[in-house]
Amino acid sequence: MIEPIEISASAEQVWALLREEAESGIVAGHAILLTEARRRELLLEVRMGVGFRVQHAYRLEARGEHCLISDRVRPIGWRWRLSNIFLFGRGLRPIEVAAVEGLLNLKAAAEGQAREDLTDLDDR
């Protein structure tokens, strides 16, 4: 499991961005929503190509004006099993790195949006 990342934005803002991104993947046919516990957990299956899918289990924990988000990735499919053999069992690492990058992008977007919201309040 990937270490949780702290985001300086409300859980509601982070959830909205996460759900928006998930919805775009679902509409494009690249992802399937498996389960959802609103503002807490989201389980998606993302198609990475023929015979290769990755399940992402996002978990969101509110901490006042901040929140923690984590992603537990689980690759599945015959292509994943085969590539992992050729990578001597180290095939999960690139998937985890990509998941962390996605969480960091979500963090940047949420914190940028939170700063814009504060600026709008100051301008009033």
pLDDT tens by residue, 90-107: 889 999 999 999 999 999
31 burial via Cβ count (<10 Å: 0-12, 13-18, 19+): buried
Token pair for 79 = 């292509």
Whether the per-residue pLDDT at 124 is higher than 60: the answer is no
Q: Residue 118: its pLDDT value, please?
A: 59
Length in residues, the chain: 124
Q: Residue 91: its pLDDT value, please?
A: 87
Token pair for 30 = 């690249």
Look up the domain containing 76 and give its range: 10-119
The answer to whether residue 124 sits within a structural domain is: no
The answer to whether residue 3 sits within a structural domain is: no
pTM: 0.87
The answer to whether residue 43 sits within a structural domain is: yes
Largest CA distance in the chain: 59
Structure confidence by residue, pLDDT tens digits, 49-73: 888 999 999 999 999 889 999 999 9
Q: Is 39 left (phi over 0), alpha (psi -120 to 50) or beta?
A: left
The answer to whether residue 30 sits within a structural domain is: yes
The CA distance from 50 to 35, in Å, is 23
The answer to whether residue 68 sits within a structural domain is: yes
Q: Residue 101: its pLDDT value, please?
A: 96
The answer to whether residue 5 sits within a structural domain is: no
Q: Which of 69, 71, 68, 89 is nearest to 80 (CA)?
A: 89
Whether the per-residue pLDDT at 31 is higher than 60: the answer is yes
Q: Which residue has the tokens 């180290």?
A: 90
Q: Which of 111, 21, 20 is nearest to 66 (CA)?
A: 111
